[in-house]
A and B are shown apart, each in its own frame.
Chain A
Amino acid sequence: MLWRVDVSCRPEYGDAPSASALAAFREYPLPGVEKVATSTVYLLEGDLDAPRVAQEALADPISEMFRVMPASEPPPVPPGARVVTIFKKPGVMDPVEASALKAVADLGMTATAVRIGIRHLIYGGPDDGTLRAVAAKVLANEAVDEVTLGERAFDRIALGAPYRFRRIDVPLRDLDDAGLLSLSRARGLSLNGQEMKAIQDHYRRLDREPTDVELETLAQTWSEHCKHKTLTSDIRFDGSWIRNLLQSTVFRATQELAKPWCVSVFKDNAGIIEFDEHHDVCFKVETHNHPSAIDPYGGSNTGVGGVIRDVLGCGLGAKPVAGTDVFCVGLPDADEAALLPGTIHPRRMLRGVVAGVRDYGNRIGLPTLNGAVFFDERYTGNPLVFCGTVGLLPKGKAFKRTKAGDAVLLVGGRTGHDGIHGATFSSVELHEESEAASAGAVQIGNAIVEKKVIDTVLQARDQDLFDGITDCGAGGLSSAVGEMGAELGAEVDLEKVPVKYEGLSTAEIWISEAQERMVLSVPPECVERILEVFRAEDVEATVIGRFTSTRELVLRYQGHEVGRLDMEFLHRGLPREPRIATWAEPKSPNPRPPEKEDYAEDLKKLLASWNICSKEWIIRQYDHEVQGGSVIKPLHGVDNDGPSDAAVFRPVLSSWRALAVGCGMNPRYGDLDPYQMAANAIDEAFRNVVSVGGDPDRTALLDNFSWGNPEDPETLGALVRAAQACYDVATAYGLPFISGKDSLNNEYRAGGRTVRIPHSLLISALSVVPDARRCVSADLKEPGNYVWMIGQTRMELGGSHYALVNGMSGGKVPAVEPELGRRVIATVANVISLGLARSCHDLSEGGLAVAAAEMAFAGGLGMKMFLEQTPVRQLTGETALLFSESPSRFLIEVRERDFAAFEKATAGVPRGVVGQVTAEGRLSVVGRSRRKLLDVPIAELKAAWQRPLRW
């Protein structure tokens, strides 16, 4: 029997689902919709007492009501209303289904299948076609949802059909170049001609054809996503050869710095540094751009899930302790009608990615502490979603030791059709049909399955029950087992892999990127004990094979061999294609901003600009308190709503030692000077962690390059310049890179146009804070205190936010001066550790004026500024003084009694007293010319800053 249970809110207790559906129509805007009544629809298959299930498990007896019916007889639609039903497409994972199955079982009954949908009863509105189309956009996502206008009757919901095994050989030995390329395209392998040729040569030598599973394994392992083939290739640039770009820039900086506290860099799923005498910490930031472009919610949701698994799969399993998420999206006020076909409106994009991060991070109990959002219209079709996790490892657990004879243990979620070809899909550019073509690559996560995996894996780790662990990420089992066994060999029996439903082919089982799975290598004598650890908490764990010493990867299905791959060829057979890169510095005159009588309006415009405005609407949806280690929260100040430079948390609650997490990014500089963009990103990330109390000598970096198509020499040239800056500035500042990731081909093609994203380098910084009690925040504290400026202001408005909000282009991008920057930042760290800083805020987007305003309204206090003593070089005019974005600058609040000590401690760097804190809530500024530049109530400034994203 297939039952249907509809659950809806009793209006007297509030009806948030209906209200938010109505709000979505109004925001679009879709005129004429007067009312929406939303209910959840449960389809339950099995021999069960459906009314009892509804009453005791599905509907809340106080705040909800329900009706039960056979699924073949849907409820009538009231006169004047129309119904839109939304169900996940068959095969798209829905975590609620698993919980519903458990809830039914807890009542002593069995449901064989559950499917869950939403029913919206809509009153008013336009014609059927328009209503359905808009509902599909604002209430659903057709990449993963089935949207129907009208009621649906169901008679069966179980999925899958039995799979009949057959071995599939893919003939390629006799193909010509064109034939190889079309094979690559037809199978979605994303391999180029040279790579296909290498595979052909290999199989000609073996004198056989590859199987489908072998070919898929090679495609996954050789994908840009897994191998970073562009960044590790040789590049002809500027008349000379760069051998392995990453090796000669980012890695080299780390090697030369040779910090003894770096434990494991660029080897594992995350970089590892020392934390204290008992713990190491690891850090990784990943991108999930292409999946998010198609399904913002599922894309960011699984982005978080994926990077948490990176950390859980780091060393011998790290505990995820903090999250950071950065988004780049289009402009929320974009005209819906002017968007390129196939794109999702930036407003819905942002809502979707925020909800995806929220629902995964909060459920799994990962405090999301840090983040940023950048808005630029070029991100509309190809948004960027960066998800990062910090992990905590006991000392001695940083290295894996998988050996021949270990069992291959698959732990966690079941394998399904979801996420097939994620790695290869993320390695090509997006286009208007991507949504339809790649829906299989999009998934929705199940945070609770992953939470259970974390809980149990950490127990198994502490009992020394396994030798190695890695996550099933891009490429699924093919990458996980292939990498763990790279120096050994492995054999896997694919029929042992637990599947969500019948009918998966061997190749699908092997490359599915279904979420929440980890692979462990387990010594045979520990298998029974580790299985008991998982069984005790209802986590599925299955031995699917073993590691060998044959240096071969052997795959079987019910005893039939379906693949036999030489590990050497799999991991080192990828041909490297040299690349060509060029870069010509665009020469454009500095913007010459006019001098103004009063800058209050300029300042408010900056505060209200998308990149600078308050992100409180996002931040408060994330749990930043869970795990109980919060020290400097993402929002702080007298009303708990001012911006923080970086977040600080204690990963070990018995100690005052802490970690600061910050980030730096400014894609706008990249349009003019990718070298300085990268230099500034490092400077900013470093400034941020030092501003709150991070130790500059214990700070590590991650790089995340998100770029366009590297086949274009100028696009690649910009990347080369950015990588060169990473080397130069990281070595000068003493900041090792410990891990990184690149995402290329971030372009969107539609209607004959290709939009390339801005060159986007995200730098994330992780810094040890020796004593959390020494941390400082950016809000002004007490009237009478002095405010010092540390660092030098120069004529640097190119790419600035002042230029952006005033429609000016070109000019000289702020330039990092590493020798000066290093001294300034070290000095700031020193005065903070001496307890001389009452508050500290770095100067970034919008320069001095924005930083001062933020400190003032965060503290609920005023500031009288007199800028005569601001250290400057080659600077003319008050406009540049207020809004230049020169790097390596800070504002620091100092008590009168500490004035002399502060002055002495900062003697070696450019600095000057620029203001005094006042009790009256106004920000007033007198310029170098001694004329008043602005005098405005902080309440107005705060209101301007809070308005844009108060959604």
Chain B
Amino acid sequence: MTLRALVLRAAGTNTDGETVVACERAGFRTDLLHVNRLVERSDMFGSYQLLVVPGGFSYGDDLGSGRVLANELRLRLGDAIRDFIRAGRLVMGICNGFQALVKAGLLPDPLEGGRQRATLAPNESGHFEDRWVRLNAVSSRCVWVREGTVLETAVTHGEGRFVAPEMELDRLEANGQVVYRYVDPSGAEAGYPWNPNGSIRSIAGICDPTGRVLGLMPHPEKHLDFTHHPQWTRRGEREADGLAFFRSARAALT
């Protein structure tokens, strides 16, 4: 069965190229579409099984990361995206895409009123950082992530500190909606730089209650080949965690 992925881009999206490659290598027939085209014709969502909102600096992140794109999603595409989720399709928000989904109220609870319940605040370091991190999957709620799996890949952001009111955090944890946490090489939660932005409870990625919408700050599409890993000249050829991540999304649809 041919599965199709839609990678949505907007002004300032800049990781669309490698996100398309990731989807294609995982077996999706993939289209890259500008948000203006979807606003013109939101029925286009119907042809796809996976929607990815990729990373970048949509509209410069000028009013806060992902904010302007979030308003576009919320005001112009919100209903279409909710229909997409209800139809059992998958949605991924990566980095800026995660920020936009959260600020559009499409995570963590897209089907519950669309209110923003959490945010991605500026990194504790006060500036953008590029470094590799290790993530532990701490829940199997997301339909394509199995608890206990490890994802090593890059973070590249200035506003990735996941924060929310305590009650909201408790609720997300109780529901298994906290999918990924930042951990140190031993697998334990730790401070900077293992948790690169100061996210509360080391939260790196969350999903919605259906497990079909996942957002995360790190970039799985940055780890598709063994040569992407910063240690590859030391450890040699290994399976690339990011590619496995996309492949399991495809597997979850079949």
Contacts and interface: CB of A to CB of B under 8 A. Distances in A.
19 contacts: A16-B123, A16-B126, A60-B67, A60-B119, A62-B163, A536-B36, A621-B128, A621-B129, A621-B130, A622-B130, A624-B130, A628-B221, A636-B233, A640-B132, A640-B231, A776-B233, A779-B234, A781-B234, A859-B234
A100 B12 contact: no
Given A20-B126, A60-B119, 6 more contacts: A57-B63, A364-B14, A538-B11, A628-B228, A629-B18, A650-B227
Contacts, number: 179
B223 to A, nearest CB: 9
B119 A63 contact: yes
B234 A14 contact: no
Contacts of A98: 62
A106 interface: yes
B230 A636 contact: yes
A362 B57 contact: yes
Interface of B: 11-12, 14-15, 17-18, 21, 34, 36-37, 55-57, 59-64, 67-68, 71-72, 75, 103, 116-119, 121-124, 126-132, 154, 156, 158, 161, 163-165, 198, 219, 221-222, 224, 227-228, 230-231, 233-234
A14 B36 contact: no
Nearest to B35: A537
Given A777-B233, A779-B234, A96 B17 contact: no
Q: 4 closest pairs, A vs B, by CB?
A: A365-B14, A628-B18, A99-B62, A62-B119
Interface string A759-791: 000000000000011011101010000000000
Interface string A70-97: 0000000000000000000000000110
B57 A621 contact: no
**Contact size class for A?**
35 or more
Contact of B230 (A446, A640, A772, A781): A640
A390 interface: no
Contacts of B18: 627-629, 653
B116 A62 contact: yes
Contacts of A56: 71
A446 B12 CA distance: 11
Contacts of B61: 363
Contacts of A631: 227-228
Contacts of B231: 638, 640
A451 interface: yes
A564 interface: no
A16 B123 CA distance: 8
Contacts of B57: 362-363, 365, 447-448
Nearest to A58: B63
Nearest to B237: A773
Contact of B224 (A64, A363, A623, A628): A628
A362 B128 contact: yes
A687 interface: no
A258 interface: no
B64 A60 contact: yes
Contacts of B154: 625
Contacts of B130: 619-625
B249 to A, nearest CB: 17
Contacts of A619: 130
B9 to A, nearest CB: 8
A629 B224 CA distance: 10
A447 B164 CA distance: 31
B118 A537 contact: no
A61 B64 CA distance: 11
Given A103-B68, A623-B156, A14 B60 contact: no
A20 B59 CA distance: 24
Contacts of B127: 355, 358, 621
A536 B116 contact: no
Interface string A32-73: 000000000000000000000000111011111000000000
